[in-house]
Every structure is written in structure tokens, then in C-alpha cells.
Amino acid sequence: MTTWRFVVNDAPVEVEAPGMRRLLDVLREDLALTGTKEGCGEGECGACTVLLDGAPVDSCLVPICQVDGARVATVEGLAEPSHEGAVLDSLQQAFLEAGGAQCGICTPGMLMAARAYLNDGGAADEAAIREAIAGNLCRCTGYTKIVEAIAIAAGGSR
């Protein structure tokens, strides 16, 4: 067991874990951040996507030893907490209104991939958006309304 120190959603954390423990398990089981989902455990579906120092990664493929000293962002950090509940950010709001979430299991990973795209200055360009979320599988929506939601959040309207 080793102690790993890193930052999750702007809060510093300390975790005791074997170095090869998956970041996904650390988040879900050690830190009780179950918003990040597991769909395949082999980096195919993207449901476990989080941002590692700003870059989208499949947290099922990242051992915790690679996270030491890094900044991790998960779906739980998107909305702004308030005493009345959570204030959705513009991307979540766009997903809600456009119908970008159906069963919701791919949604956290999809949001994080989209967040990375927007943080990098991604535009409301359909082809670029499709490329940005190509590592995140969704079986419900046909992607149409997800792409639309990200375009809305990027400042475009479709």
C-alpha cells in the first residue's frame, strides 16, 4: 500500500492503495464518487471518462500510481453546489434541454469528453464534436441530440 496525493474536483485527497489499483475503483469505491461509470473495463466504451490534468482518459485504464500529484475532474465537479442543490453548468443544461441524456449511463463520461472539447475552445462544429466524443459509446440516442447539446454549449445553435 502506498499513499497517493492528488486533487479531485479542486479538493485535495489522499488515498492508500496499491499502485496498480484502477483510478476508476479509487474514485467509485475509495472516494464514493460513483458518478463515473464502468461499462466495459477495457477502454472501449468511455463511460469511465474523467479529466486527468485536463485531458480526457478512460479511468478504467489508468493505475492510481499515474495520478499522483495530478488534477482529476469528474462529473460531480461540473455543477456548482449551492445550499439549495446543484446549479447545472451550461453543458449539463444543454444536455437536459436538447435530450442528450436518455438512460444516463454514458452521460457522465460523455459530459467529461465534451467538457474537455469545450475547455480547449472547441466550436459548434458537428464534425469536430463527433470526433471529440468518438471514444464514448452511447446506445440510446443515436448521438444526434448529444452532438446538438454540445453545439449549443459551444455557443452555436442548430
Contact residues: other proteins, CB under 8 A:
28, 32-42, 44-45, 47, 74-76, 78-80, 82, 84-90, 92-93, 95-99, 101-108, 111, 126, 129-131, 133-147
β-sheet with 2-8: strand ranges across: 11-17, 2-8, 71-73, 49-52, 55-58
Nearer to other proteins, 55 or 103 (CB): 103
Q: What phi, psi does 78 have (nearest 5°)?
A: -75, -50
Look up residue 88 and give its three cell numbers: 447545472
Cα separations (Å) of 41 from 2, 45, 58, 68? 23, 8, 9, 21
Q: How far is the CB of 111 from other proteins (least distance, A)?
A: 7
Q: How far is the CB of 120 from other proteins (least distance, A)?
A: 16
Q: How far is the CB of 108 from other proteins (least distance, A)?
A: 5
